[in-house]
């Protein structure tokens, strides 16, 4: 298959030849019959670095929480999750996959809740879905301690069981533990296990408006002390919005040093922050532009889809980038390439995907956007024109519009 008349994120005009599941040639002109894509922008498959496939579409089956307060919304969400059958869990996961593929997200890191009841059903289902769709989408699973339950031996044991199921990494929410000591104990234990098994870690870190929430520095310190570089991510890091700039900048220096990626999910961060405040309210996105400037690897997640924590999600990373443009003042052209990097190369780095990119010999995992320049794509958020996974077209959209004025 030859794709003609494409443009890279950097604006270079290219044709591309795909053979089997590989990109075999990229050149300005390739002879032969092909699909003319009219100068549209092409990128490698998008990387959604933060998802909860086991929590998506819960509003199909359960009630809304109708509150931006995280603790209250989480309670309703947990009740819902604990009452699903394995069949329901599996069906909602399958539905999620369709949304990711349509959006061009061909690499998704999902946190799957391993505490609480129904943990076996959730792990069984995600493993089944991962295998079933492995030729269409890469799913990376983080076994994740989601609830407020005290981090005891039983939950620690659950982490080991999740590893037996085949998760790619582990994580938790240390700031939800009752004390700083308990949060630190959880972090150290997760590090003990992950370093022993050589697997990834992704913490929901300091997901709070409280500037005294500083578990990220403990995570950085553990990574440095154990020399466990480039395998740890911090999701959200909402409290960075509220830290003193002096402290925030020092933290960034150490994040870079430890090769820790920060994964922002601006839709849910904007939805949840400031919920406990009177006006003026904080709008808590961590300092993305400053982190990029200071060399921290920042990646992007869409986070939940249509559940109690995010009733309006649809899994489209372009919508997350739209929220980020507004939330962190990235609506100037100088940031447009950065926004695409968060959704592509930076995500691949956070997920430790080695084989990634638009190069000859790489897997043909591609997104062709409906737009000839980055601004139009980011602003208009149209359906993707074409999504190619492992060399095969898995999604196409030729919708045309007509307007009479
Ligand atoms: Zn999350």
Per-residue confidence (pLDDT) for residue 118, from 0 to 100: 93
Which residue pairs, CB below 8 angstroms and at least 24 apart, start in 272-276?
272/68, 272/70, 272/73, 272/207, 272/238, 272/309, 273/209, 273/238, 273/241, 274/68, 274/209, 275/67, 275/68, 275/69, 275/70, 276/69, 276/209
CATH 2.30.40.10 spans which residues of the chain? 2-44+358-396
Into which CATH architecture does domain 46-350 fall?
A: Alpha-Beta Barrel (3.20)
Q: How far is the CA of 142 from the centre of ligand 1 (A)?
A: 11
Neighbouring C-beta atoms of residue 102, cutoff 10 Å: 17
Dihedral Cα 310, 311, 315, 318, nearest 10 deg: -80
Q: How far is the CA of 300 from the centre of ligand 1 (A)?
A: 12
Q: Please name the fold of domain 2-44+358-396.
A: Urease, subunit C; domain 1 (2.30.40)
- Using 70 as the pLDDT threshold, list the residues of the chain that sit under it: none
Per the DSSP assignment, residues forming a β-bridge with 13 are 7
d(C-alpha 215, C-alpha 179), whole Å? 11
Q: How far is the CA of 263 from the centre of ligand 1 (A)?
A: 10
CATH 3.20.20.140 spans which residues of the chain? 46-350
Q: Are 191 and 218 in contact (CB under 8 A)?
A: no
Regarding pTM above 0.75, the answer is yes
Q: How far is the CA of 173 from the centre of ligand 1 (A)?
A: 9
Per-residue confidence (pLDDT) for residue 399, from 0 to 100: 85
Q: Are 385 and 396 in contact (CB under 8 A)?
A: yes
Q: How far is the CA of 262 from the centre of ligand 1 (A)?
A: 13
Q: How far is the CA of 364 from the centre of ligand 1 (A)?
A: 29
């Amino acid at each position: 298959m030859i794709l003609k008349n494409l443009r890279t994120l950097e604006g270079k005009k290219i044709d591309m030849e795909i053979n089997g599941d590989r990109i075999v040639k990229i050149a300005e002109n390739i002879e032969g019959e092909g699909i003319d894509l009219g100068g549209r922008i092409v990128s490698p498959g998008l990387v959604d670095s933060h998802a909860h496939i086991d929590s998506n579409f819960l509003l199909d089956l359960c009630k809304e929480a109708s509150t931006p307060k995280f603790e209250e919304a989480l309670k309703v969400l947990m009740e819902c999750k604990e009452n699903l059958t394995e069949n329901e869990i599996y069906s909602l996961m399958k539905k999620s996959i369709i949304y990711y593929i349509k959006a061009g997200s061909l690499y998704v890191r999902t946190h799957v809740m391993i505490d609480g009841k129904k943990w076996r059903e959730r792990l069984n289902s995600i493993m089944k879905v991962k295998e079933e769709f492995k030729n269409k989408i890469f799913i990376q699973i983080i076994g994740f301690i989601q609830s407020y339950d005290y981090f005891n031996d039983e939950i620690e044991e659950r982490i080991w069981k999740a590893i037996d199921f085949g998760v790619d990494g582990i994580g938790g929410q240390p700031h939800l533990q009752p004390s700083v000591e308990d949060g630190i104990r959880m972090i150290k234990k997760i590090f003990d296990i992950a370093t022993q098994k050589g697997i990834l870690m992704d913490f929901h870190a300091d997901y709070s408006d409280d500037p005294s929430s500083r578990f990220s520095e403990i995570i950085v310190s553990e990574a440095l002390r154990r020399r466990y570089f480039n395998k740890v991510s911090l999701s959200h890091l909402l409290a960075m919005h509220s830290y003193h700039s002096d402290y925030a900048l020092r933290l960034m220096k150490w994040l870079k040093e430890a090769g820790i990626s920060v994964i922002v999910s601006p839709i849910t961060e904007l939805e949840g922050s400031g919920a406990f405040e009177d006006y003026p309210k904080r709008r808590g996105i961590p300092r993305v532009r400053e982190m990029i400037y200071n060399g921290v690897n920042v990646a992007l997640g869409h986070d939940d889809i249509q559940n109690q924590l995010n009733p309006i999600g649809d899994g489209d990373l372009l919508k997350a980038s739209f929220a980020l443009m507004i939330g962190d003042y990235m609506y100037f052209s100088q940031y447009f390439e950065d926004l695409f990097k968060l959704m592509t190369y930076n995500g691949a780095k956070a997920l430790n995907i080695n084989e990634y990119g638009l190069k000859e010999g790489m897997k043909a995992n591609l997104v062709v956007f409906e737009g000839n320049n980055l601004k139009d794509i980011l602003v208009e958020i149209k359906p993707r024109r074409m999504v190619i996974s492992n060399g095969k077209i898995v999604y196409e959209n030729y919708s045309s519009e007509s307007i009479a004025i």
